[in-house]
Amino acid sequence: MKAEVILMKCPEANRIYGVRVEEWQGDWFRTWAFPVDPKRASHEGFDRNEIKGNLYPANEYNGCPYCKSVRFVQCSRCGKLSCWNNEERITCGWCGLTGDVTSTEDEIEVKSGDY
């Protein structure tokens, strides 16, 4: 089993958080989310982790530590992940792009980076 920690951002709280993901039979599953400050995330290398494929919530996934959402969207501009609470239009928590929701959990490529 392969496991990584990727970063997501809650637009409501304007804060990042870590998400532990595990690869099971070719798909990635979110298993646990936890608050993390940017300095620790950088020190631990969370900002450099990359995953590619489907990214589903595991049954035990606790969701965003701030807004409790278990859903997310990937920004079409910066490629980063933000919480999603089923709105038709969303503003990216990372770069501020506002647009319509076009994709969520299937076939994503997450490349972490500056925050």
The tens digit of pLDDT for each residue in 2-31 reads 999 999 999 999 999 999 999 999 899 999
Q: What is the pTM of this model?
A: 0.86
Residue with tokens 């969701």: 63
Token pair for 52: 């590619």
For position 49, what pLDDT does the model report? Answer: 85
Q: What is the rounded CA–CA span in Å between residue 90 and residue 61?
A: 23
For position 100, what pLDDT does the model report? Answer: 77
Token pair for 64: 């965003």
Q: Could you tell me the maximum CA-CA distance found in the chain, to the nearest angstrom?
A: 36
pLDDT at 115 over 50: no
For position 45, what pLDDT does the model report? Answer: 87
At residue 70 the predicted structure's pLDDT band, cuts being 50, 70 and 90, is very high
For position 111, what pLDDT does the model report? Answer: 62
